[in-house]
Every structure is written in structure tokens, then in C-alpha cells.
């Protein structure tokens, strides 16, 4: 009964993946530099002069409150995102790498649950204070 409104005359949408997310930041160049240098994510250019970083088959777009790409989030706010990146490297090595870039570890390593099972995670913040979880599946 509770899902009755969903089932009447509607086809289900087959969502398969996430293509991109957009982070609202205060300085796009600074964010690109951070994600590229600290996390070794390649920078791509699209739609003329917009830039993003690739994360596997997905990308992270960046925009500012002053110049959002339309349509934009209803309340774009720097520092409000929380995302998890899956790493191939050992978290001990990643921890040393982060320290070499003067990136503080907020928490970790700690045990968490991801979309596909148990994770071991480190938490850091990007230059706009977005929470970035860096994880390995166990």
C-alpha cells in the first residue's frame, strides 16, 4: 500500500551509475590543483574552458557561488560536501603522502561500510573544508 502511488502507470527508471558530482568551492584553480596534486587525479577540460578532475569513470566538477553553471544547486555552499574516494594504494602509504602535502588527517584509519562492503578509511578536508574519505575495501 505505501508504494501504491509509484506502481500505478509508471515505468521504473533504470539508473546505472553516477557520471559526475559538482562541488561548490571558493577558488576553482586552487581546488583543481589540490585534487590533481594531492590525489593524482587527471584534469580534463570540457564545454570550452570548464575544468574538472576524473575519478575512475566519473568526474568532479567545480563551481563557485558567484558563477554557478546553470541549472545550479538550490543552496550552493562551499565546504558542505562529504564524499568517499576508493584508493588502490595502501592507506599507510597514502597517510605518508598526505602528510608530505601538509594535509591533516581528520580521522582514521577507521572501519566503515561502503556501497560494496567493508572499508578502511582516512578522512581529510579539501581547501574548502569538504570532507573527503579515502578508503580501501577489505
Burial label for 3, CB within 10 Å (0-12, 13-18, 19+), is exposed
pLDDT at position 9 = 63
Closest CA relative to residue 34, chosen from 89, 88, 78, 72: 78
Q: What is the pLDDT of residue 12?
A: 78
Query: pLDDT tens digits, residue range 41-82?
Result: 999 999 899 999 999 999 999 999 988 788 888 899 999 999
* Catalytic residue flag (residue 133): yes
pLDDT at 2: 54
User: In the chain, how many H helices and how many E strands?
Assistant: 3, 8
**Alpha helix positions (H), the chain:** 4-7, 28-39, 91-100
The 10 Å CB-count burial string (b at 16+, else e) for 68-80 is eeeeeeeebebee
> CATH for 4-137, among 3.40.50.300, 3.30.559.10, 3.40.50.2300, 3.10.180.10?
3.10.180.10
Q: Tell me what the pLDDT averaged over the chain comes to.
A: 92
Amino acid at each position: 500500500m505505501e508504494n501504491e502511488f509509484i506502481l500505478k502507470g509508471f515505468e521504473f527508471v533504470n539508473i546505472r551509475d553516477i557520471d559526475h558530482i559538482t562541488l561548490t568551492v571558493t577558488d576553482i584553480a586552487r581546488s583543481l590543483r589540490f585534487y590533481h596534486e594531492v590525489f593524482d587525479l587527471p584534469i580534463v577540460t570540457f564545454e570550452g574552458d570548464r575544468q574538472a578532475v576524473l575519478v575512475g569513470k566519473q568526474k568532479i566538477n567545480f563551481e563557485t557561488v558567484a558563477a554557478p553553471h546553470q541549472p545550479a544547486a538550490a543552496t550552493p555552499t562551499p565546504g558542505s560536501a562529504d564524499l568517499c574516494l576508493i584508493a588502490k594504494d595502501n592507506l599507510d602509504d597514502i597517510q605518508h603522502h598526505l602528510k608530505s602535502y601538509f594535509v591533516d588527517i581528520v580521522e582514521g584509519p577507521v572501519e566503515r561500510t561502503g556501497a560494496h562492503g567493508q572499508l578502511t578509511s582516512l578522512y581529510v578536508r579539501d581547501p574548502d573544508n569538504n570532507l573527503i574519505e579515502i578508503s580501501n575495501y577489505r
